Chains A and B, each alone.
Chain A
Amino acid sequence: SYELTQPPSVSVSPGQTARITCSGDALPKQYAYWYQQKPGQAPVLVIYKDSERPSGIPERFSGSSSGTTVTLTISGVQAEDEADYYCQSADSSGTLWVFGTGTKVTVL
């Protein structure tokens, strides 16, 4: 089955930049989406269609895509950004959805 691979954890000091990668064979053909999830809460969309930012999401969140890898960048990390982050996409047919393995962002 199709998989999206993320690093298990990323640690960053306040004000620094965090980068989270997500790799999958179908990513050149399918858009990627990024969700932030804090303990006990439902996921919140922070990036859609690889690099678009929903209204209400701070500008420090950005997304990019290159080949089979997409990246979520958090510039000027703040303590409130500490959370789990998941990428999401679809397989090449577009009718089977998949989530990444998840990355825990720790703000030191």
Chain B
Amino acid sequence: QVTLKESGPVLVKPTETLTLTCSVSGFSLSTNIMGVSWIRQPPGKALEWLAHIFPNDETSYSTFLKSRLAISRDTSKSQVVLTMTNMNPVDTATYFCARLGDYGEFHWGQGALVTVSS
């Protein structure tokens, strides 16, 4: 069974750097041909795609947030990590990791709520 689970701080202060971890099971990050994305959703608002990492370690980032994001993977730990610098209250959101499936569809983790507040 394929599962993804996000973990990280529940609360971060403005200007801090957020580090989120996506732990996957049921598939290998090195053989899954499509890769893993991070997606977020502010409370009451729409989904927003953030970043993607392919099995060959190539990455793709949201044009709007590219300067603040970094995505990486640790195949031995079956983890994908997202860092976002200079956090702001508007970055308060539920952050999802999602595997890209064979047909180009996303398969989602349960999400992790991150609040940015001093």
Which A residues contact B (CB, under 8 angstroms)? 1, 31, 33, 35, 37, 42-43, 45, 48-49, 52, 54, 86, 88, 90, 95-102
Contacts and interface: CB of A to CB of B under 8 A. Distances in A.
A102 B47 contact: yes
A33 B47 CA distance: 13
B104 A33 contact: yes
Nearest to A43: B108
A45 B105 contact: yes
A64 to B, nearest CB: 17
Contacts of A52: 103
21 contacts: A1-B64, A31-B103, A31-B104, A33-B105, A37-B47, A42-B110, A43-B47, A45-B105, A45-B106, A48-B105, A49-B103, A49-B104, A54-B105, A86-B46, A88-B47, A90-B104, A95-B60, A97-B37, A97-B49, A97-B60, A100-B46
Interface of B: 37, 39, 46-49, 52, 60, 62-64, 96, 103-111
Contacts of A33: 104-106
Main secondary structure of the interface of A (DSSP, over half): strand
Nearest to B104: A31
A42 B96 contact: yes
A99 B108 contact: no
The 9 closest A-B pairs by CB, nearest first: A42-B108, A99-B47, A97-B49, A102-B46, A48-B105, A95-B60, A1-B63, A48-B103, A45-B105
A47 to B, nearest CB: 9
Contacts of A86: 46-47
A42 B49 contact: no
Nearest to A30: B104
A33 B104 CA distance: 8
Given A33-B105, A48-B103, A49-B103, A96 B47 contact: no
B14 to A, nearest CB: 25
Contact of B49 (A99, A101, A102): A99
Nearest to B111: A42
Contacts of B110: 42
